[in-house]
Amino acid sequence: MQYWSTRNGELIPGVLELVQDCKRNASVVLFSNATSRFNQEVKSLGIDGLFDHIVNTSEVGSIKPEPEIYSYALELGGIEAEEAFFTDDRPEFIEPAVNLGWSAHVFDGVPDLRASLIDAGVL
């Protein structure tokens, strides 16, 4: 319990640069199945200002893979499903996005994600 209470997560090298590249062309929404501590964790990592919106599922009342959370993220971003791109490291969270008409990619590293973003027209 103490380990999880003091852990803020780790940033994957190259991801912040990729998010900044995306922001040149698109609104970027971070959303996570997280605890009530998520917003503070994002802030402590110094990345809270990097995103246009942050969706903390513990505050919304819906979690991935429930379709409602994806719809909520679209509303915040002010876009339609066919304009959305979603990435996650869990395939079971990708499927609902694809079913809703989003472009999506299972995150397995920065190079493949960058290529997928280029293919989708985000970069």
- Is residue 66 one of the residues assigned to a domain? yes
Report the CATH number at residue 79. Answer: 3.40.50.1000
Nearest residue to 54 via CA among 37, 70, 32, 35: 32
pLDDT value of residue 4: 45
> What confidence category does residue 1 fall into, taking pLDDT thresholds of 50, 70 and 90?
very low
The Cα 22–Cα 87 span in angstroms is 13
Mean pLDDT across the stretch 89-106?
A: 96
Show Cβ contacts of residue 51 under 8 Å, excluding neighbours closer than 6 positions: 19, 28, 29, 30, 42
pLDDT tens column, 30-84:
989 988 888 888 888 888 899 999 988 888 889 999 999 999 999 988 999 999 9
Residue 3 within any structural domain of the chain: no
61 within a domain of the structure (yes/no): yes
Residue 36 lies in a domain: yes
Q: Do the domain assignments include residue 100?
A: yes
Counting the structural domains of the chain, the total is 1
87 assigned to some structural domain: yes
Which pLDDT does position 3 carry in this prediction? 47
pLDDT top residue among 93 and 60: 93
How many angstroms separate the CA atoms of 67 and 111, rounded? 28
* pLDDT for the residue 8: 55
Question: Of 1-5, 12-16, 105-109, which range is least confident?
Answer: 1-5
2 domain-assigned = no
Task: Quote the pTM value.
Answer: 0.85
CB of 79 within 8 A of CB of 85?
Answer: no
4 located within any domain? no
Give the domain range for residue 83.
14-119
Written as six digits, the tokens of 56 are 């903390």
Task: Give the type of residue at 74.
Answer: L
